[in-house]
Amino acid sequence: MAGQDVTSRVSQVRLDRAGVVVVVGTFLGPVIEGALLFGAAGTLDLPRAWLFLGLSMVGMFGQVVLLARANPELVNHRGRWKQKKDAKAWDRVLVPLYGVCAFYAVPAVAGLDVGRYQWSNLGSWAAILGTLLFAGGTVVMTWAMLINRHFEAIVRIQTDREHRVVTAGPYAIVRHPGYVGAALWALAAPLIVGSGWGLIPAAAAVAVLVIRTVLEDKTLRAELPGYADYAAKTRYRLLPGIY
């Protein structure tokens, strides 16, 4: 009955101003990436860059629209991440740091690489691999968001939202599937564009996610009832059989 009450409450919620900002910001994200990429490249004649931006628009904007329809309450909370007083201080640093690495540094470095200076030129295999990684990351992250009503933008124990451990869907495989999707997105971008040098800031973005995973795991084990038992059953944080 409690689950039905939660579902009913969520279905009655509509996007508020914070949620609309998330939707609009997600739409503008690929536009900003494109401005950085083509500005750094000094040319628009980069077919693989256009492919990347098209995939980003479909994946990122499509994801947030789907989430807004399924759980607008979560989108609203994600838009208010800066206002969460109980958010962990270390995450207030890691969240923007990941964004700088993945969504600013990657396109800027990739543009300088493949456009202006042509330091590297990864073959078509990289575009194919990158597209597969991006699609996989989109599926995994969207799945995690739809399953986990506590998938906010910043780490905190959500006592105001009846925070519970989620064990279904991708959470039955790894403990942090959303970070898996985010890591795949970061690595996919330079591969699609064809930039070897772009993999450097992408790797930095993945490193930020790994650090965040470790700190979040410690927090949840200590403060979220039931998480330690869940972690004992679901052993791996990001990669089944590896980590």
Dihedrals phi, psi of 80, to nearest 5 degrees: -105, 25
Tokens of 50: 């256009």
Q: Which residue has the tokens 């690929």?
A: 30
Averaged in consecutive runs of 10 residues, what is the pLDDT profile of the chain (243 residues)? 43 86 93 97 97 95 94 95 93 96 98 97 97 97 96 94 95 97 97 98 98 97 96 95 91
> Would you call 218 exposed, middle or buried from its count of C-beta atoms within 10 A (0-12, 13-18, 19+)?
exposed
Q: How far is CA 23 from the centre of its chain?
A: 14
From residue 9, how far is each of 70, 80, 111 by CA, in Å? 12, 19, 45
Sequence-distant (≥ 6) Cβ neighbours of residue 222 within 8 angstroms: none
pLDDT on residue 211: 97
pLDDT on residue 4: 40
Distance, CA of 51 to CA of 58 (rounded, Å): 11
Cβ neighbour number for residue 169 with a 10 Å cutoff: 14
Distance, CA of 231 to CA of 225 (rounded, Å): 11
| Among 22, 25, 44, 24, residue whose Cα is nearest residue 34 | 44
pLDDT on residue 23: 94
Cβ neighbour number for residue 71 with a 10 Å cutoff: 20
pLDDT on residue 13: 82
Distance, CA of 137 to CA of 183 (rounded, Å): 8
Check if the beta carbon of residue 131 is closer than 8 Å to that of residue 192. yes
Distance, CA of 127 to CA of 77 (rounded, Å): 35
Domains of the chain: 2-233 (1.20.120.1630)
